[in-house]
Structure formats: C-alpha cells, structure tokens
Structure 1
Amino acid sequence: MSNPHNPPLQLFVIRHGETEWALSGQHTGVTEIALTAHGEDEARALAPTLGEVAFTRVLTSPRQRARRTCELAGLGAAAEIEPNLAEWLYGEYEGLTPAEIDQRQPGWEVFRNGCPGGETPEQVADRADRLLQSLGAASGAIALFTHGHFARALAVRWIGLPIGVGGRFALRTASIGILGYDPARPDVPVIALWNEVPSRRG
C-alpha cells in the first residue's frame, strides 16, 4: 500500500541485456554468462530513461548478467545485491532449450511444472512475495535488475494473480516494467508499464 505522505512506491523491473543463451533459448539460472556485445548496447540504452528517475534504492540479482546491465545502465554505484532477485533455479533443466525439455517432459511449462532438482512454481511465488513484502513499506522509485522468468513472477504476484499465468507476460531483454498503484485508487496495485525497450540513441 502506498503512503499518502510520501511518493507512491514504484518498482522498476528491469530484465538484463542479451546473452548467448538468451539468443539460443537455453534456460539460464545459476550459470554465469556474460552479455553479448548487443546485450551491452541494450544495457547502455537504458541509461537515458533510467537516468531521469530519482531512485531511492537500486537492487540487483547476484548474477553477472544482471549486475553488468545495472552498471552499464548507469546505476552500478548505488546497487545493492538482492539474492531474491536471482532467476528461477532450473535444476536438471539448466542450459536446456524448451524443445530439449519437451522431449523429456512433453507439454512442460516452467510456470506450471517447475523444474526437477530446482524450484517449483510455488517456491518462486513465495520468493517473489517475500521480496515484494519487504519493499511494501517503501516509497518512491526502486530499481530491480533481474531476469526473464523471475520478473514475470514479480509482476503477476504484485497484482495478485497465480504464478501459473506468468508465462503469458512477454518480456524482451533489457526491458523495463513498472509495478505501481492506480492513481485513482492508490490501494490498488497495477502494472503501469511492461516490456518497454528504450530506443538506442546515437
């Protein structure tokens, strides 16, 4: 709930830039993988937009690709590591593409089935809920640098939807979403912006 005496809470959910595994569709949880050259350009393109926001906090996943995106976006100096922003733990499916997983488990979807040896949808929902609850009393804008699947988990849990619908939220690399409140009904959480990619300048 927003505080009427302070600026309303806005959570800027920012997915990291492109990696080789993002290109190939391989599921990247704990594997440390660098941004591609294009991914670095994507991250730099975030800077003009994010630079216009007076963030009260900047939080980033511990993974290299998220931390590097934060740095190139111009917010690295203010960043705090937040373990709960890490990507879904894919367990036995780490590094596999959806087609490879489908051969093992036909019809598989991470938001419905989870991952053997990794996290279940319920565990990811609980992790998202814990993070959102920890930020709930804050005000102003907070930047969250995270990952494709966990960003979607944050979005659906913010508006009270079950984790299973997370796969219906498309999300590009180096995109920005804003989780906030309805200005006309300040107790109602809304997704104010989603999957927005700033245009590259210069």
Structure 2
Amino acid sequence: MSDRDARTPRVFIVRHGETDWAKSGRYTGTTDIELTKVGAAQVSSTAAMIVGAGKPLDPSSLAHIFVSPRKRARKTFELLLPQSSFGAAGWEERVTYTEHIAEWDYGDYEGLKFAEIIQLRQGKGLDREREWNIWRDGCEGGESMKQVSDRLDKLISQIREIQRPHMNGGEAGNVLLVAHGLVLRCFAKRWIRYSVDSPLPMMLAPGAVAVLSYKNGNIDEPALCLGLELRKAEPSDVI
C-alpha cells in the first residue's frame, strides 16, 4: 500500500450482529428486532480486534457516521463504538441515523423465508419464465430496485462531499456505516457505480466489516478495498 493509499479516506461498512430472524433465514426489513446474545458477542469481538487508537477503525479518524435507525443497527453501533471511544464531547454531531441506509423494505415478504416467498409468488401466477430475483424484481408492497438505488445514491453523494476535502490526507476523513446485510451489499455495488442487480456475488457475515475507498487518491475513482495494510502502530500514529 502506498503512502497515498494510506491517506485516502475510507468507508467502513459494518453489518449488525445476529438476530433470531436472520439466523432462521427470515427476511427482516422494517421489523425492529434485537440482537441475540451471539449477535452482541460477534460485534464486541469485532470491536476488540479492529477498533481503537492505532487500529484499522480508529474513532479519531471518523469524519461522520451513518447508522440505520433499526434497533439491531443502533445496538451494533453502541457495541462497536461506545461513547467512551470518542473522548471529546460533541461527537454526537458526527452521527446521523438515517433511512437512507435502512434495510430493503420487503413489503409483503417481511418475515418470510426464501422458499415461502417463491411459493407465494407462484400462487399469484408470477415468475413463470424466470425465478424471482430481489435485486431485479424488488418486493410486492415494498421497495423496488430503483427506490433502493436512489436512496443509496443520495447517501453516496453526501459521503463524497464529506470526503472530498480529505483526498490528500490531513484531518480525519473516514466514514462509518452501520446497517444491514442486503442493503450494504447494494451500497457496495452503487459505490463502484454498478447496478444493484449486477452479478457481483458478495458475502457479509453478521458483525463483519468491509472497506471501500478510492483508487489513486481520486474522488472520481471509487473502489472496493480488498485489503488493508496491517502493521503495528507507531507512537506517531496514535493521536
């Protein structure tokens, strides 16, 4: 990793920890569900490994944080970055709870499993020529691909403006997103200007972290960050 790459702002995307519905394969969009004990432990484990001064996700490096307003995302944020992580007062101004990063609204399919959705749609005479694909077909009574893309694009525009002044290093310019599995995969596609239904298979486990950034320190070259330089923090690195 070049010095330029190390100074280029990053976007950390974090999926909330396990919930009972997610564990059982039920589509969970607008329903407000708490983390399981395992889910809370997943996030706490992630925080212990990567969050802190001199670690990949240093609270002092964050220019802004966007969190889904659902309980499972809020709790994940609290476990990932306790208030004590921020030190100085006024950190609340850097946090926005926004529906822009809420999970896909599954509408009539909320709480159902994949096989149940397929059965429901077939009973209505749908999908006779091809199997239902949420990326392409959206959800009855819920959101379409375009609606999800539009709200994510608005958020991406906000993030670009936040990070634009920091492309050559300087003060903290990183951004953190805490949200949900499907919408974060959509976000990653839109970040690199792919359509939400592009065939780009991705996985993001409960409590997991992924990183987005820019190539060549250029705001017009958004990229997936496939790896970070992992090195021991020097005294000069710790603020």
- Give the TM bin, normalised by the shorter chain: 0.7 to 0.9
1:185 Cα shift?
Answer: 5.8
Name the structure 2 match of 1:173.
206
Higher strand share: 1
1:46 Cα shift?
Answer: 2.2
User: Which is higher, the Rg of structure 1 or of structure 2?
Assistant: 2
Name the structure 2 match of 1:59.
66
Judge conservation of contact 1:128–1:157 (CA < 8 Å) in 2.
Answer: yes
Correspondences of 1:43-54 after superposition (within 5 Å) = 43-48=43-48, 49-51=50-52, 52=55, 53=58, 54=61
Identity %: 37
Name the structure 1 match of 2:11.
11
Q: 2:221 aligns with which of 184, 188, 197?
A: 188
- In structure 2, distance between residues paired with 1:14 and 1:166: 22
Name the structure 2 match of 1:71.
78
Evaluate the alpha carbon distance shift between residue 151 and residue 75 of structure 1 in structure 2; reply closer, same or farther with a 3 A threshold.
farther
Evaluate the alpha carbon distance shift between residue 92 and residue 169 of structure 1 in structure 2; reply closer, same or farther with a 3 A threshold.
same
Structure 1 moving runs of 4+ over 6 Å: none
The residue matched to 1:58 in structure 2 has which SS? strand
1:182 Cα shift?
Answer: 1.4
Name the structure 2 match of 1:38.
38
- The amino acid that maps onto 2:143 is E
Judge conservation of contact 1:113–1:120 (CA < 8 Å) in 2.
Answer: yes
- In structure 2, distance between residues paired with 1:109 and 1:190: 26
Of 47-56 and 149-158, more deviation after overlay is shown by 47-56
1:184 Cα shift?
Answer: 6.8
- In structure 2, distance between residues paired with 1:115 and 1:33: 20
Name the structure 2 match of 1:109.
133
What's the TM-score once normalised by structure 2's chain length? 0.73
Equivalent residues, number: 189
Over the aligned positions, Cα root-mean-square deviation in angstroms equals 2.0
Matched, 1:118 2:142: yes
Q: 2:98 aligns with which of 82, 88, 96?
A: 82
Gapped regions of structure 2 (runs ≥ 5): 84-90, 122-126, 164-172, 228-239
What's the TM-score once normalised by structure 1's chain length? 0.86
Name the structure 2 match of 1:158.
191
Judge conservation of contact 2:15–2:181 (CA < 8 Å) in 1.
Answer: yes
Gapped regions of structure 1 (runs ≥ 5): 195-202
1:109 Cα shift?
Answer: 1.9
- The amino acid that maps onto 1:47 is A
